[in-house]
């Protein structure tokens, strides 16, 4: 079952490289995303069996991420049908890379071997790079290049971390997760510590934690909205899954204190740094990129705090992904209509496109964690965890940074929505598909914010138990 899930998009990706019609590719992508989502939903009822001698296993942690990926790809595929109606460029390489991305991200969620995990994450980096430079102008090429280089260096460091883990596990003689967990007592502590540092720096670079976040504003600012949704909502969280797997081993070896202090420092840094840059920002996609850095910081803080914070972090994974759908798809829609996402050039959206204006407000509220969106709930859980562990300074810093983030993004969004409308580039009608995708995410996020369904709650608790090592 898992193999089908992985191979199906991969083969379709190869097939899409053939000369086909643009519309056919879009429909194929929609079909594949739908199939992927249906299979994932079936996993909620019953987990699939492991394959390849335990190399591919789906556990609760993986299922969370897999569901996120499925939903994100589904909403992007619906959005794309509307987006490409007005987009003249060929989409052959673009679609192929999207298929490959779906396939490799699926591998990340189910890989139980650290080497395989690395290979899959590196593959996701490689296949997402051509997506950024879709428009092939100077700035997007520079953004792609910076993304490729910084993330490749990060991934190389993560590879070194994997090797250090292999050395630490010299007696255990394997890099499979269950084997490592069983033989946790025999892992060499010094090499484990070194490996943890390299993992956090390497995969953190991929996540966009400060101080290796510099690729985010440029990459997210230049890529189209749909691509950024996948990158910000799914790709960065794939790296977070890698950190969660490392945390599983750390908790068994008793190095919890070591890694949580590093994570808390990174998390706080990732909260402070974007707050410093957001206030001068005028481009909404770049502002959302800074917001993404901040959300990654929150995730990592939650992981570092353990127990309640971890529950909050896992819940935040879902909410963050949905919020990103709203934020970046709306920004993409604005970009297509006006040709720019800067608040200096785009004004008065609410007068011409009322639905898009409403979505922008929803994006602002969802992205900064306002009631009734789900992000409010998960951020509250993480702050709660800080209070429980008596880190009051941390609470103060976090709240201030989140507030600054709200002010910064709010300023841009309100500037874009209100004011004298400038002439947009496209004819004045809203697109059904684009709006449907965003609306679905809004509805889902508000629903989760108000009521947590019990299967989800059970899944989250199972996942927390898995990371904590209680099972």
Partner 1 sequence: MTSWVDASCIIIVFLSLIILSNYRVVAMIRVFAIQSLVLGLLPFFMHASCISSRDVLISLITLILKVALVPSILFWAIRHVSMRAEIKPIIGFGSSIVFGALIIAGAFWISLSLKLPGKPVSDLILPCSLSTVLLGFMIMVTRTRAVTQVLGYLIMENGIFLFAVSLFDVMPVLIEMGILLDIFVAVFIMAIVVNHINEEFEKSAESIIPKIGETF
How many helices and strands in the chain, by DSSP H and E? 20, 0
Q: In this complex, which beta carbon is closest to partner 1, that of residue 150 or of residue 467?
A: 150
Classify residue 247 by burial, with Cβ atoms within 10 Å: 0-12, 13-18, 19+: buried
In the complex, least distance from residue 471 CB atom to partner 1, rounded to whole angstroms: 26
The 3-state DSSP class for residue 283 equals strand
Question: Least distance from C-beta 190 to partner 1, angstroms?
Answer: 8
Is the separation of the CB atoms in 108 and 120 below 8 Å? yes
State which residue, 187 or 326, has the beta carbon closest to partner 1.
187
Task: Output 145 or 258, the one with its CB closest to partner 1.
Answer: 145
Which residues, in sequence order, are bridge partners of residue 283?
342
Closer to partner 1 at the Cβ: 218 or 379?
218
Q: For partner 1, give the closer residue by CB, 42 or 186.
A: 186
Q: Which residue do the tokens 């969370």 mark?
A: 64
Query: What does the block give as tokens for 193?
Result: 């510590």
Shortest Cβ 408–partner 1 spacing (Å): 16
What is the rounded CA–CA span in Å between residue 146 and residue 125?
12
Q: What gap in Å lies between CA 224 and CA 339, rounded to an integer? A: 11
Paired residues of 51 in beta bridges: 56
- Could you list the residues that contact partner 1 (CB under 8 A)? 113, 115-116, 118-119, 122-123, 126, 129-130, 133, 136-139, 141-145, 148-149, 152-153, 156, 159-160, 163, 166-167, 169-171, 173-175, 188, 190-191, 194, 218, 221-222
Q: Which is nearer to partner 1, 144 or 266 (CB)?
A: 144
User: Considering beta carbons, is residue 286 or 337 the nearer one to partner 1?
Assistant: 286
Q: How far is CA 375 from the centre of its chain?
A: 14
Q: Whole-number minimum distance, CB 1 to partner 1, in Å?
A: 21
188/384 with CB nearer partner 1: 188
Q: Report d(CA 68, CA 451) in Å as an integer.
A: 18
Alpha-carbon dihedral 95, 28, 104, 374, rounded to 10 degrees: 100
Contacts of 182 (CB under 8 A, 6+ apart): none
Sign of the alpha-carbon torsion through 55, 61, 67, 73: negative
**Nearest distance from C-beta of residue 373 to partner 1, angstroms:** 31
Smallest gap from residue 169 Cβ to partner 1 (A): 7
Nearer to partner 1, 136 or 390 (CB): 136
Read off the DSSP letter of residue 49.
P
Closest contact distance (angstroms) between CB of 264 and partner 1 is 26
Provide the minimum distance between the beta carbon of 69 and partner 1 in the complex, in angstroms, as a whole number.
20
Measured from the CB of residue 230, what is the shortest distance to partner 1 in angstroms? 17
Helix, strand and coil content of the chain, in percent to the nearest 5, comes to 80, 0, 20
Cβ proximity to partner 1: between 79 and 290 the closer is 290
Write down the least CB distance from residue 272 to partner 1, Å.
21
Q: Cα–Cα distance between 464 and 459 in angstroms, integer? A: 9
Angle, helices 256-278 vs 284-305, to 10°: value is 160
Tokens representing 142 are: 């520079």
Residue pointed to by tokens 């700035």: 139
């Amino acid at each position: 079952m898992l193999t089908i899930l992985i191979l199906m998009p991969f083969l379709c990706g190869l097939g899409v490289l053939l000369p086909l019609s643009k519309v056919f590719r879009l429909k194929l992508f929609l079909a594949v995303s739908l199939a992927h989502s249906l299979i994932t939903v079936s996993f909620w009822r019953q987990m699939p069996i492991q394959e390849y001698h335990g190399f591919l296993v789906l556990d609760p942690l993986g299922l969370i991420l897999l569901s996120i990926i499925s939903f994100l790809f589904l909403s992007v595929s619906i959005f794309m049908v509307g987006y490409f109606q007005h987009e003249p460029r060929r989409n052959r390489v673009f679609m192929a890379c999207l298929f490959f991305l779906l396939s490799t991200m699926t591998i990340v969620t189910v890989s139980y071997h650290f080497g395989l995990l690395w290979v899959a994450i590196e593959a996701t980096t490689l296949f997402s790079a051509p997506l950024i430079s879709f428009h092939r102008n100077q700035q997007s090429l520079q953004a792609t290049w910076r993304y490729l280089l910084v993330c490749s260096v990060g991934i190389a460091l993560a590879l070194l971390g994997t090797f250090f883990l292999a050395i630490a596990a010299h007696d255990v003689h394997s890099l499979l997760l269950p084997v490592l967990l069983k033989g946790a007592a025999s892992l060499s502590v010094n090499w484990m510590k070194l490996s943890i540092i390299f993992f956090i720096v390497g995969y953190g670079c991929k996540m966009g934690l400060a101080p290796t976040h510099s690729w985010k504003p440029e990459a997210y600012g230049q890529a189209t909205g749909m691509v950024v949704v996948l990158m910000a909502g799914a790709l960065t969280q794939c790296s977070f899954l890698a950190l969660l797997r490392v945390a599983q081993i750390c908790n068994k070896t008793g190095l919890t204190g070591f890694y949580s202090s590093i994570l808390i420092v990174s998390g706080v840094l990732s909260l402070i740094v974007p707050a410093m840059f957001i206030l001068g920002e005028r481009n909404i996609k770049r502002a959302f990129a800074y917001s993404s850095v901040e959300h990654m910081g929150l995730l990592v803080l939650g992981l570092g705090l353990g127990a309640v914070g971890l529950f909050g972090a896992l819940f935040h994974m879902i909410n963050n992904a949905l919020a990103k759908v709203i934020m970046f798809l709306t920004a993409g829609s604005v970009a297509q209509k006006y040709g720019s996402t800067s608040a200096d050039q785009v004004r008065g959206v609410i007068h011409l496109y009322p639905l898009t204006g409403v979505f922008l407000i929803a994006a602002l509220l969802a992205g900064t964690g306002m009631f009734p969106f789900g992000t409010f709930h998960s951020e509250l859980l993480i702050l709660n965890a800080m209070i429980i562990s008596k880190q009051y300074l941390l609470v103060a810093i976090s709240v201030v940074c989140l507030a600054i983030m709200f002010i910064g993004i709010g300023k841009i969004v309100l500037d874009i929505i209100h004011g004298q409308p400038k002439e947009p580039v496209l004819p004045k009608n809203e697109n059904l598909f684009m709006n449907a995708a965003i609306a679905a995410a809004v509805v889902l996020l508000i629903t989760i914010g108000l009521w947590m369904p019990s299967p989800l709650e059970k899944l989250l608790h199972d996942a927390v138990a898995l990371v904590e090592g209680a099972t």
